[in-house]
Each structure stands twice: as C-alpha cells, then as structure tokens.
Amino acid sequence: MSIFVKRNLKLFFRDRTAVLFSLLAIFIIIALYAVFLGDVWLADSMSNIQNADILMNSWLVAGLLAVASVTTTMGAFGVMIDDKVQKINKDFYSSPLKRSSITGGYIGSAFLIGVIMSLVTVVAAQLYIMFSGGDLFTPIVYVKVVLLVLFTTLTNTSMVCFIVSFFKSHSAFSTASTIIGTLIGFLTGIYLPIGALPESVQMIIKMFPVSHAASLFRQVLMEASMQTAFEGIPVNYLDEFKEYMGVTFRFGGNEVAPWISILILAGTAVVFYGLSLLNMSKKSV
C-alpha cells in the first residue's frame, strides 16, 4: 500500500494545475479579505479595539487552516477520479493488491497531501501575521496547531472521500469541487461571521464539523491577540465577541467546550471512514 500511496503523491504534485486549484478557495478568501472584508470590519465594527488588525488577521488565518485541509484533500482525490475515467482502477483490481489496500492508498495519499498543504499554509499564515505586525507563534501554539492540522485533516479526508467515492467523471468531480470551494467560506464563518447570520443558519453551521475545526484553530491562534485587544474591557464583551466571530459555539445557552468539538471531529472521522471504505470496497459492476 505504501508504494500505491507514493504513486498517488507523485501524480498529484506533478500536476501543478491540480495543486494550484486545490488552493483556489484559499486564494479567493484572502483576496476578498484584503480587498473588501478586512476594511469593512476594521472600519465599522472594531475601530475602538486595540490591535484590531492583528486580531482579525489571526481570525482569518485560523479559518484558512480549517479550509485548507478540505480543498487540498478534494484536489488529491482527483487522482482517483482520473484512474476511474481512464479505467486504470480495473488494472489495480485485477492485480494481487487487495481492494482495502487500494482504498487505503487513495485515502492515505489524500491525507498526506492535506497535511503537507496545510502545513505550508501554517508557514504562510505565520509570515502573513508577522508582516502585518503580529508576533511569532510560541512553541506551544505551534504544537497545538500541528496537532489540529493532523486531526482536522483526518476528519476532512474522511468526509471528502465519502463524497468523491460516488463520482465517476471529471465533470461531476469538478462541479462538486466548485460547490464545496464556494460554500466552505460560508460554512466556516469566514465570509460572514456566524453571529451576523440568522439563528437557523447558525445552527446548521454549528452542526458542520469543519466549523468546529475552525473554532478550535481560532481559540489557539487568537488567544494572545484577544487578551491584548480586550485588556481592561469587561469580560462579557469578550464572550460576546467570541460567540459572534465563531471562536466559540453555544447550544442552548451552554458554551461548547474544546473537548466536545474534538469528539465531534473524531466521531465524524470514524463514521465517514467507515462509509467510505464500505462504498469504495464494493466490487465494480
């Protein structure tokens, strides 16, 4: 299976267009924030908050890290679609390789690609924050971020794999990639903060696993900047800000603890990996 994983990795990174398009949603979010969204928030809502630009930059990159593992793993599964379209998968199925090994190879390579591209995004995020006046991440923040990258990529790979396992053509795959790339910014509360949306939409977002990944990233990356920005301000204003911006979630008035978000991500990974293995291991007709 390791050879199959290496083969998929080489095919993905050899196609520079596929690598670029897997990051397209991230580029769009950055462009929107730089041109429009950032100025709106800093001018209208946060003009009286100390170091508001650093705070919002941390908020942005936290959302980008949650998005990165979705779009990059989606692009990674393009190798599997290519194999289906070109009937290469039939050669694999007629070989001594077990179907479970083939399935594991696709999933494993997509997970590794998601981790690699997410870590690249972490480095880019650190540079962006430093150039915009922020500080270097502390070692403990780096450790937490890397662990979150591994964990959220595992969850997102399982969900994306299940979706892609139903596709057998480039057109279906491209359409799904476009839809997911468009919606992911809304579902993670990047285009619009969760607090600005109707309660019914907020509930949908709070039930979406990737939103919990974004929340965890925000809690880690925004902790220091929130302490600085809200120093001397009553704590209730900080709580309102965190809920409005999707740093924390509430269900029925109770704040969702980080370990609950982690359990949601873990449960999602287990369920969708099981469904993906079941669907992809079936004998082709």
pLDDT tens for 213-243 read 999 999 999 988 888 888 877 888 888 888 9
- Whose tokens are 């949601």? That residue is 264
Under 8 Å CB-to-CB from 145, ≥6 apart: which residues? 65, 122, 137, 217, 220, 221
pTM value is: 0.88
Maximum CA extent, the chain: 68
| pLDDT computed for residue 92 by the predictor | 67
| pLDDT computed for residue 43 by the predictor | 47
Average pLDDT of span 110-138: 87
Residue 149 pLDDT > 90: yes
CA angle 222, 138, 144 (to 5 degrees): 70
Average pLDDT of span 123-146: 86
Q: pLDDT band for position 45 (50/70/90)?
A: low
Q: pLDDT band for position 39 (50/70/90)?
A: low
Q: pLDDT band for position 124 (50/70/90)?
A: confident
